Structure 1
Amino acid sequence: MKMQAIVIYIAAALAEIGGCFAFWGWLRMGKSPLWLVPGCASLVLFAWLLTLVDSGDAGRAYAAYGGVYITLALLWLWLAEGVRPDRWDLGGAAICLAGAAVILFGPHRV
């Protein structure tokens, strides 16, 4: 079940980053306002995906998601924007993923 959560978090992060990038493209890169249509759909998908995580609590699901989001945002930076993350970016992402793992895999009271 925890592996399913990781897959959902990855999909949610891609949806959130894609949706936010659509707004960035419109406002900061001069792209067409039509970019907002798939951007909004992507953000709705992101929100729906997070509801699929069976963590017991919304806050815990969001907290564990944060580490995955940060890591994928840096991957987006590299692949979509052509800016290679530096060692500080990678170290920060590793710390965030470690925190997400503690939250996700810890023996919480239910």
Structure 2
Amino acid sequence: MKTVRIVCLLAIGMIFATAAQAQSRASTGTIHFVGQIVEGGCGAEVQRAQVEISCFRDGVNHFQRVALNSSDDVHSMRHIGKITQRSLAGHPELQEMTISYH
């Protein structure tokens, strides 16, 4: 009977040790990136009540101005992406603008 109890305790101990080791390995590692970034993101500059967005694509600078108080929530950026904006809940004076790339 004592042998069974000792074997069970050893098995439980091994399970906990294995789980702890797996947990520590899961939080470490290396991610390898293959490829290159050929064009950067867009830039945004606030100018009074509007935002000027500039994107460099295919050797050409593209510019678009978007009014901060615009009632439109989606703007197209010449096949580069789209701009969405909304007021934050409970704070209509604060605007969130998101630029999504294609």
TM-score by length of 1: 0.25
- Relative CO higher for 1 or 2, CA cutoff 8 Å, sep ≥ 6? 1
Larger radius of gyration: 2
Identify, as 1 or 2, the structure richer in helix: 1
TM-score by length of 2: 0.26
Identify, as 1 or 2, the structure richer in strand: 2
